[in-house]
Amino acid sequence: MRKKIVAGNWKMNHDLAQTEMFLVDLKKQVLPEEVTVMIAPAFTNLNHAFNSLREHPVTVAAQNMHQNNNGAFTGEVSAEMLKSLGVETVIIGHSERRAQFNETNEILSEKVKTAIANKMTVIFCVGEELEERKQNNHLKLIESQLTEGVFQQPETAWKNIVIAYEPVWAIGTGETATPQQAQEMHQHIRTVIANKYSKSTANDVSILYGGSVKPNNASEIFNQPDVDGGLIGGASLEVESFMKIVNAF
């Protein structure tokens, strides 16, 4: 079933004390029942966040994981390790991972495979650079990121896959896609999924928008028919702004 989701991607922000401060404040908030609220703290704070939120309807997600379940991969964290904490949701393919850590579609496809095999929910990110949009290549590019990254999965896996469309030029820049640009791409993503799998799978998948979503622009983006919520960076670091976005539907 298609869900409304607001997920906070904290990136490399908030140490343990800051995480705790956020959690104390978050737990005082009344969350709308129809929205799935997620936060993705750093690996070092996942255990604390997960345990702290046990009684609260907030999903704790990881920002990344390795494609192997264990082995000689110094500095990496596996799906099994995340699951052992209780963490069952993972962001895969964020553009910062693609650009700064050389994560190719091929590697991302392996990560998705491992996450799904471990019965995790995947938030799979796609997004084009400004140059690709200027060359009018953005629709094709997103299609190929989906084809190479997630279309190896059987249709049944899609109940555990969420797509996040994050135009690279809008991330952390203060520049957002217009609601029309977001809607065009989200509709395109749904069409591509329908062509590969089925209309019902395409209709059921939640597609989030990410890229400078703020309290003042969240509503108009979330109101688009094919936008099911957001993956929020900067504005997810403070409870006040995060909650405004959670309540923006």
Residues designated as active site: 94, 166
**Binds ligand PGA (CB under 6 A): choice among 39, 126, 171, 193:** 171
* 232 near ligand PGA (CB under 6 A): yes
Give the type of residue at 22: F
* 248 near ligand PGA (CB under 6 A): no
* 149 near ligand PGA (CB under 6 A): no
* 172 near ligand PGA (CB under 6 A): yes
In angstroms, the CA 214 to CA 231 distance is 11
Region at 172 (left for phi over 0; alpha for psi -120 to 50; beta for the rest):
left
**Binds ligand PGA (CB under 6 A): choice among 132, 233, 243, 248:** 233
Residue 212 CB, shortest distance to ligand PGA, in Å, is: 4
The residue among 234, 218, 226, 115 whose CA lies nearest residue 165 is: 226
* 210 near ligand PGA (CB under 6 A): yes
For the record, the structure tokens of 190 come out as 């749904």
The residue among 17, 74, 57 whose CA lies nearest residue 41 is: 17
**Binds ligand PGA (CB under 6 A): choice among 4, 5, 6, 9:** 9
In angstroms, the CA 198 to CA 80 distance is 31
In angstroms, the CA 124 to CA 101 distance is 16
**Count of residues touching ligand PGA (by CB under 6 A):** 13
The residue among 61, 58, 54, 57 whose CA lies nearest residue 40 is: 61
- Select the span of 81-89, 148-156, 166-174, 178-186 touching ligand PGA (CB under 6 A): 166-174
**Binds ligand PGA (CB under 6 A): choice among 107, 231, 239, 245:** 231
**Binds ligand PGA (CB under 6 A): choice among 93, 167, 211, 229:** 211
* 116 near ligand PGA (CB under 6 A): no
In angstroms, the CA 248 to CA 214 distance is 10
